Amino acid sequence: MENWTMTPFEPLSGLAGGILIGLSVVLLLLTLGRIAGISGISAGALTQRGSEQYWRLAFLAGMILAAIFYSNFMGGFKVETQLGSGWMIIAGLLVGFGTRLGCGCTSGHGVAGLSRLSPRSIVATLTFMAAAAATTNIIRHL
């Protein structure tokens, strides 16, 4: 883990992605009155029935189709990890645990909650950003 590299600076891709995420959050709130938190949407897709399940499945399908569309028309995704699969599995489990503990995920609190100035989301976002910074620092120095 001694070779850390910088990712390329791509402001237009970041801007386009941010606009699309913001648009999806606003549209979901205006049309269905729901918060676009992926952990809640995913959990509800497995537990809800009827129209509650349908919109959740459609939202998740849209995310998957957008990734496929991007990959096909923009030349794929370049993903590089500097940690092994064991670390990635542990990280995924910790993220899942954190979303249940925090009653929401980064998209729910960090995007939808902060834009509504939700005090709970402000605290949650500050907490998971601090935890992410501490974890990164610890992992880099192991």
Count of domains in the chain? 1
**pLDDT at residue 91, rounded to an integer:** 83
Q: What is the pLDDT of residue 113?
A: 86
Confidence at residue 45, expressed as pLDDT on a 0 to 100 scale: 92
Q: What CA–CA distance (Å, rounded) separates 16 from 118?
A: 25
Residues of the chain with pLDDT under 50: 1
On whether the CB atoms of residues 38 and 107 are closer than 8 A, the answer is yes
For residue 90, is it within any domain? yes
* Predicted model pTM: 0.73
Task: Indicate whether 127 belongs to any domain.
Answer: yes
- Is 3 inside any structural domain? no
Write the DSSP symbol of residue 109.
I
pLDDT for res 4: 59
- Output the pLDDT for position 2: 55
